[in-house]
Chain A
Amino acid sequence: MEARLTGLDRAEALRYMGWRGGPAPEELLRTLDRCEALLRRTARPRAVWRMFELLPDGTLAGTGFCPEGRDIRAHLAGCGQVILMGATLGAEAETLIRRTQAADMALALALDGCASAAIENVCDNLCADLAAALAPKRLTGRFSPGYGDMPLEQQETLCRVLDVERRIGVSLTAGGLMIPQKSVTALIGVSDGPGTEERRCDGCGMFANCEIRKAGGRCGGT
């Protein structure tokens, strides 16, 4: 199961760049084309995942890792296993964005938005592959440390269990943020029953400030 970047959602990239809707100018769309080409050439997406039995006390078997918070428990309700996943666009894309900031900030902004959309695409592809491989089992959506009331501090434990540093080259800062920045870790519940509902806005840490929600839209948990 390779990490794959197959395309990126333009509307999402624009949203990351602060676009507030309406048709984007031709010139901007051309810039996005250029960014996508640059990213496809430069980024080396990598992913790692591992499946664990979910014990009745909420810990992942053999790890001592117990995801905390009501929201993640609700998310994993009815699941017998949990997949931990980590994915990154890699240091190559990060360096490209940093270097571009020195030369052309407008292009760097577009690249940054496209890279955010690109890592979502990598995650979506991985989840689709996992769902196909594990069928007829059902997978929940992705839930990351920091969502809802799950503490961001648990990022560190998740990363250690997955050994993301050695496996995909992702490390944490002292404050628990991932580098490369275009990286995602998540928990995915695995169950025999029907899939749980998509993540709702009111469980999101961004609920109060979300510009997308205020404008009547939703990000779909990305």
Chain B
Amino acid sequence: MAEHEIILLDGAMGTMLQQAGLPVGALPEVWNVTHRSTVTAVQRRYVEAGSRVLYANTFGANRLKTAKSGYTPGELIAAGVRAARAACEGRDVKVALDVGPLGQLLEPLGTLRFDEAYELFREMVTAGQSAGADLVVFETMSDLYEAKAAVLAAKENTSLPVWVTMTFEDTGRTFLGTTVPAMGLTLSGLGVDAMGFNCSLGPKELLPLAAELRHWTDAPLILKPNAGLPDPATGAYAVAPEEFAGALVPALELGVTALGGCCGTTPDFIRALASAVDGKRPAARPDPVRRGVCSAARTVVLDGDVHVIGERINPTGKKRLQQALREGDMGYIQQRAVEQQDAGAEILDVNVGLPGLDERAMMARTVRAVQAVSDLPLQIDSSDPAAIEAGLRAANGKAIVNSVNGDRRTLDAVLPLCKKYGAAVVGLTMDENGIPATAAERVAVAERILAAAEEHGIPREDVFIDCLTLTVSAQQDQAVQTLEAVRRVREELGLHTVLGVSNISFGLPAREHVTVSFLAQAMAAGLDLPIADPNQAAVMDAVAAHRVLSGHDWDSAAYIARFANAGPAPSRPDVAGTMTLDEAVARGLRAETAALTERALQTMTELEAVDTLLIPALDRVGERYERQEIFLPQLINAANAACEGFEVVKRRIAEKGMGSVSKGKIVLATVRGDIHDIGKNIVRVVLENYGYTVIDLGRDVKPETVVEAAVREDVRLVGLSALMTTTVPAMAETIAALRESGHECKVMVGGAVLTAEYARRIGADYYARDAKRSADIAREVLG
């Protein structure tokens, strides 16, 4: 797309076909076969009105939407491209394969997996290329993650230029929360050839979005607005062609190059647009564009302020996290993510490297699990290029890769991945010869890494340098070298710096003083991306204080807010008093339950604590629940408190390297076709808090997945949930598949539409009417 030339696109296709008799709600792409001359005639009118790019009538030609049409995506796409091609005969007009959202939402909000989405898009874009399309346009996207799957499918399987336009609300976000900066950063990183907005709003409302987007990408910009907003009663659009065209002219001053119309626009709109922009040129774009990293919903702009990268999702030296990773306990990892975000982390480091674990698979799984509960940008932390790529593919937004170093082999293995996925990269100032002892040598390594990154097409703003923290108790002369290297990388190279600070104090008593003091000095030297534990209040206090001193927290507003409500430090839970563990659990007091469990472990074994204290305490709560003296939220609170006690026990056991106190394994799943999983999740929490190990397969789970997990983990009890009458048959099918496999296990079922009678009829062994009952069943089956 030439930079200073206006490219006129086309207008609506659906609107025009409906005028020609297509019923509202019918699949327009079928007309490519059944009414091809009508489709071509509409497009010919656009060509005559001045369109230079025609979008083929292929928006919804994906396998999910065409399933009941009697045609394959390939057939509808070939016919659609042919119809458009016929319309531009004799003119210099390009034909775009037009691809809309798939119609099903991706995980975590929906059930479609990223890889499935990729496959559906791959089928479309390869068909489009074979049919002779000149480019591919992904439009009306509201999920940045889906757009990423689409772009990767096009880039990896075709040589076509790729355009992406997304649909925003007037709040500046898409339905799924994607922001304009996140869109710009992410799609630029993926190397799309042009981007912009279509649908949803009229031309006036799209202008502010374009004004924002031009700061976040240097790709050419596209606007394809609706003809205003539709009349709800009739579905008719309000804005007239001349008004529409007039309202779009200011887009040229923003540097927008491609203009067209979406819903409600007709060839008259394109003709009006052609005459309104005649003789005009798009203005030059702002330079340079802004930089940062992002998730779909949140952008961290690197503007000199300090942003903490949370370090807690890293198994090094953390026995409990190691156990969670080995057991695939994503819930534990998700809690660490939420906890760090609540404590003020702005980016989360994700490291799952553990001997004997498939790091590549675990990285993708963990990234998805973390993204399901946190909208912070991620730092993919691994030394294995395969694991890095798996993480980058799974990450939504623009991530950071941690890390490369001056060793040419790692640079050549990892930098192409950063370039392909548009990630920023952390460069460690070391190489195959180890860590240099002086600041000057470390700066030299940083320079080498920067040069290599630029060779690979990575902009210098996306190169972050880690000058490496060495333990001060072991190598005391190194602390000042690190600080000096940070200062010089910032001042001389102008790069952002990353630094793990906690390591500085290893081996010393009262470590926090040393860590915090080092952090303060490093920030003063220019460190803006410390990797630290945000749960340490002293660390976050030091960052808050630094923001005041550096002028980033203007009027100390954030600092004052942070400490405004801080009374005296919270007293430690009163465990010297008379409270029993029973009482602490019953009242849902977590800290007290943990402290009382600690105390109990001074006089009894882990197993005794579980069997004689925690479980009986939960039982008494359960009895009160059965007598309806308390209610589900209180039961869950008690279970959560007990969980803190179990955590103490589990940590103790992990540290001792003993097996576990698990009372047995249970597989839980919400059956295929069902997405209502809160009931199942409550059952999981309660069962875990009774000491069982739960293998939670999630929702919309296929029968064979349940069988596979039950057999692999040799599980004696399987719990299935279904909320809808329509999904109970899938439950019956799952039970039948379990029986057929010959694996011996009991099955309990639950869900709103089930009854004891119904459960028996579909072959279940138990009907669990609530979470408490499921714990009773577990005890009966597993002890």
Contacts and interface: CB of A to CB of B under 8 A. Distances in A.
A190 B263 CA distance: 28
Given A102-B338, A177-B675, A180-B109, A172 B103 contact: yes
B676 interface: yes
Interface string B648-692: 000000000000000000000000111110100110010000000
A5 to B, nearest CB: 15
Interface string B765-782: 000001000000000000
A169 B176 contact: yes
Contacts, number: 162
A92 B297 CA distance: 11
Interface in A1-30: 1, 17-20, 22, 24-25, 27-28
Interface residues of B, number: 68
Given A50-B235, A110-B633, A166-B167, A174 B175 contact: no
Interface stretch (A62-70, A71-79, A192-200): A62-70
A172 B26 CA distance: 16
Contacts of B634: 25, 27-28, 106
Contacts of A31: 633
Contact of B26 (A27, A48, A64, A146): A64
Contact of A205 (B111, B375, B673, B725): B725
B700 interface: yes
B103 A171 contact: yes
A219 interface: no
Given A173-B675, A209-B753, A106 B109 contact: no
A106 B375 CA distance: 22
Nearest to B200: A166
B171 interface: yes
Contacts of B640: 104-106
B232 interface: yes
A181 interface: yes
A157 B26 CA distance: 9
B107 to A, nearest CB: 11
A51 interface: yes
Interface string A155-182: 0010011010110110111111101110
Nearest to A17: B632
A87 B512 CA distance: 52
A157 B25 contact: yes
Nearest to A112: B678
A169 B673 contact: no
A28 B109 CA distance: 28
Contacts of A98: 108-109, 372-373
B336 to A, nearest CB: 10
B104 A109 contact: no
Contacts of A103: 335, 338-339, 342, 373
Interface in A106-151: 106, 108-110, 112, 146
Interface in A37-78: 44, 46, 48-51, 62-65
A213 to B, nearest CB: 13
Contacts of A146: 726
Contacts of B755: 208-209
B233 interface: yes
A204 to B, nearest CB: 11
Contacts of A108: 678, 681
B199 interface: yes
A35 to B, nearest CB: 11
A97 interface: yes
B632 A171 contact: no
Q: Which of A22, A25, A172, A177 has the most CB of B within 10 A?
A: A177
Interface string B223-244: 0000000001111000000000
Contact of B25 (A63, A105, A177): A63
A48 B167 CA distance: 17
A17 B770 CA distance: 12
A187 interface: no
A73 B114 CA distance: 41
B175 A91 contact: yes
A161 B263 CA distance: 15
Contacts of A20: 628
A179 B675 contact: yes
B685 A92 contact: no
A27 B637 CA distance: 12
Nearest to B755: A209
B24 interface: yes
Nearest to B587: A27
B726 A174 contact: no
A180 to B, nearest CB: 7
Interface in B616-658: 628, 631-634, 636-637, 639-640
B101 A165 contact: yes
Contacts of B25: 63-65, 157, 160-161, 163
Contact of B104 (A19, A27, A171): A171
Nearest to B677: A101
Interface in B243-266: 263
A50 B234 contact: yes
B724 interface: yes
A104 B640 CA distance: 8
B737 interface: no
B338 A174 contact: no
A179 B142 CA distance: 14
Given A62-B24, A175-B674, A18 B632 contact: yes
A65 B23 CA distance: 9
B232 to A, nearest CB: 6
B233 A169 contact: no
B682 A105 contact: yes
Nearest to B23: A64
A15 to B, nearest CB: 12
B457 interface: no
Interface string B402-420: 0000000000000000000
A81 B51 CA distance: 39
A98 B371 CA distance: 11
A173 B104 contact: yes
Contact of B676 (A62, A104, A157, A181): A181
Nearest to A111: B678
Contacts of A165: 101, 103
Interface in B691-705: 700
A51 B233 contact: yes
A42 to B, nearest CB: 11
Interface string B8-48: 00000000000000011110000000000000000000000
Given A62-B24, A105-B682, A48 B232 contact: yes
A128 B728 CA distance: 36
A112 B24 CA distance: 34
Interface string B371-410: 0111100000000000000000000000000000000000
B335 A102 contact: yes
Nearest to A88: B175
A161 B27 CA distance: 11
A94 B678 contact: no
A166 B199 contact: yes
A91 B375 CA distance: 13
A173 B24 contact: no
B105 A49 contact: no
Contact of A97 (B338, B588, B678, B685): B678
Interface string B94-131: 00000001011100111100000000000000000000
B625 to A, nearest CB: 11
What are the 7 tightest A-B residue pairs by CB atom distance, in nearest-first order? A169-B175, A175-B673, A161-B25, A106-B636, A160-B25, A102-B334, A64-B23
10 contacts: A64-B24, A99-B338, A101-B681, A102-B334, A106-B632, A106-B634, A168-B175, A179-B675, A181-B676, A209-B753
Given A63-B25, A97-B678, A166-B167, 16 more contacts: A19-B632, A64-B24, A90-B175, A91-B177, A94-B109, A101-B678, A103-B338, A109-B633, A152-B724, A152-B726, A168-B175, A169-B176, A171-B103, A173-B105, A179-B110, A205-B725
